[in-house]
C-alpha cells in the first residue's frame, strides 16, 4: 500500500491521538475480537491510553487470547481523542456504543463489509479483504510496528474465523500470505483452530442436536432451523453455543440458502444466514442487519410463525434474483 493510502491515514490519526477508544460490533465474532485485541496491544505499545469495548461481551471461547478480559461493554467516561470502529458494517452495529464512538473528534471506520455502510472521518473499508484483521495488519505496517506473538495470535484467530479456517471463498492469496507471516511471528495454528472450531461444552453438542432436529426445508434449496428459549433452557447452553452450527447446514446437497433462527428474548429472533451463490446480505439488510454477501445476519421480532413467514418470503425472493448455480 502506498504511503498515501488509507492505512497511512489511520496511522497518522493514531500518532496524533493521546486517548483512543476502540469498539467492535455487538455479538462479536472472531474477526472483531481478534482485530480489537491486536490493535489495542499495538496502541498500548505506542504509549496511548486505550479503552476497548464491544456492546456485548466476547464469547467464552475466546478466553485463550491474551488480554481478552480487558474488553469491556461500557463506553469510556470521557470522549477519547480518537475512536476506531472495527468490523462493523455500519455504525448501527455498535449498538449502545454508537453515540460514544461518533462523539469523538476523529472517527475511523476499519471494515471489510459494504462501502455504502462506511462512516466516520477516515474510512478504511475494503470489501475485498478476507477479514478486518488484514486491514489491522496493514495499519501495523503503516505504523512501522513489528507484531508481537500475542498480536499475531489475535490476528491469526481473526483471519481463520472469517475464512472458516481458510476454507471459504474469501480465502485469497493475500489472506494465506498473511497467515504464514503471522505464524512466523508466533501465532499457534493448532491452538487457534482447536479453540475456535472444535472445543465446546456438552451442552452445545446437545443444542446442535436440537437444531438438526428442527431443520425444515422451505423447498429443495432453502433450509431453516430454529432454536427457542426452551431449547437453551433444556440443554443449559449459552446463546453463543450456536456459533458454527449454521455453517454445516449450508453444505446439505442442493441447498443454496440456510437460515438459523435463535430466540434471544421472548419473540426476539437472531437470524444467521448463509448462501451458496445467493446474496443473503441483501436479505439481512432488509431487516436492519448486515454482513457479507454469503454470510449475514439480522434480528426480527415477533411470533415465530410470523417471523418465519416474513423471512421465507425474503429468502425466496433472493433465490429468484440469484444467478443459476
Alpha helix stretches (DSSP H) within 116-220? 132-142, 149-163, 173-185, 189-193, 202-213
- Residues 77-82 have a mean pLDDT of 96
Size (the chain), residues: 325
Predicted TM-score (pTM) of the model is 0.88
Tell me the average pLDDT across 97-106: 98
pLDDT tens for each residue of 144-165? 999 999 999 999 999 999 999 9
219 strand-pairing partners? 222
Strand partners, 257: 222, 275
Mean pLDDT over residues 115-122, rounded? 94
Cell numbers that stand for 16 in this block: 496524533
Return the C-alpha cell found at 79. 470522549
**CA Rg, the chain, in Å?**
19
- All structural domains of the chain, each given as residue ranges with its CATH number in brackets, are 6-197 (3.90.1640.10), 202-321 (3.10.310.30)
In 3-state terms the chain splits into helix, strand, coil percentages (rounded to 5) of 45, 20, 35
Instruction: Give me the residues paired with residue 227 across strands.
Output: 262
Tell me, what's the pLDDT at 243?
Answer: 84
pLDDT tens profile 221-270: 999 999 999 999 999 999 889 988 998 898 899 999 999 999 999 999 99
What confidence score (pLDDT) does residue 101 get? 98
Burial class from Cβ neighbours inside 10 Å (0-12, 13-18, 19+) for residue 233 reads exposed
**pLDDT value, residue 112:** 96
pLDDT at residue 289 in the model: 87
Closest CA to 135 of 184, 176, 187, 175: 175
The pLDDT of 124-136, averaged and rounded, is 97
Question: Which residue has better confidence, 64 or 291?
Answer: 64
Calculate the average pLDDT of the chain: 95
pLDDT of residue 2: 40
Amino acid at each position: 500500500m502506498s504511503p498515501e493510502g488509507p492505512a497511512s491515514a489511520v496511522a497518522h490519526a493514531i500518532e496524533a491521538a493521546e486517548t483512543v477508544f476502540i469498539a467492535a460490533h455487538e455479538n462479536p465474532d472472531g474477526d472483531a475480537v481478534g482485530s480489537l485485541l491486536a490493535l489495542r496491544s499495538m496502541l498500548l505499545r505506542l504509549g496511548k491510553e486505550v479503552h476497548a469495548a464491544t456492546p456485548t461481551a466476547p464469547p467464552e471461547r475466546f478466553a485463550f487470547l491474551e488480554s481478552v478480559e480487558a474488553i469491556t461493554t461500557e463506553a469510556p467516561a470521557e470522549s477519547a481523542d480518537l475512536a476506531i470502529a472495527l468490523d462493523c458494517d455500519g455504525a448501527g452495529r455498535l449498538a449502545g456504543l454508537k453515540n460514544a464512538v461518533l462523539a469523538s473528534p476523529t472517527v475511523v471506520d476499519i471494515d471489510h463489509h459494504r462501502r455504502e455502510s462506511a462512516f466516520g472521518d477516515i474510512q478504511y473499508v475494503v470489501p475485498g479483504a478476507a477479514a478486518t484483521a488484514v486491514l489491522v495488519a496493514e495499519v501495523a505496517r503503516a505504523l512501522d510496528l513489528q507484531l508481537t506473538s500475542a498480536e499475531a495470535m489475535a490476528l491469526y484467530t481473526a483471519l481463520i474465523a472469517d475464512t472458516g479456517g481458510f476454507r471459504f471463498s474469501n480465502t485469497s492469496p493475500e489472506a494465506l500470505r498473511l497467515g504464514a507471516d503471522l505464524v512466523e511471528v508466533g501465532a499457534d495454528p493448532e491452538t487457534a483452530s482447536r479453540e475456535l472450531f472444535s472445543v465446546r461444552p456438552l451442552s452445545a453438542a446437545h443444542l446442535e442436536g436440537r437444531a438438526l432436529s428442527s431443520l425444515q426445508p422451505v423447498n429443495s434449496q432453502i433450509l431453516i432451523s430454529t432454536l427457542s428459549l426452551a431449547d437453551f433452557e433444556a440443554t443449559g447452553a449459552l446463546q453463543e453455543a450456536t456459533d458454527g452450527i449454521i455453517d454445516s447446514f449450508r453444505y446439505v446437497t442442493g441447498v443454496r440458502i440456510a437460515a438459523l433462527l435463535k430466540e434471544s428474548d421472548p419473540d426476539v429472533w437472531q437470524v444467521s444466514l448463509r448462501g451458496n451463490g445467493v446474496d443473503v446480505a441483501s436479505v439481512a439488510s432488509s431487516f436492519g442487519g448486515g454482513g457479507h454477501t454469503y454470510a449475514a445476519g439480522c434480528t426480527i421480532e415477533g411470533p415465530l410463525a410470523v417471523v418465519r413467514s416474513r423471512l421465507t418470503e425474503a429468502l425466496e425472493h433472493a433465490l429468484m434474483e440469484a444467478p443459476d448455480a
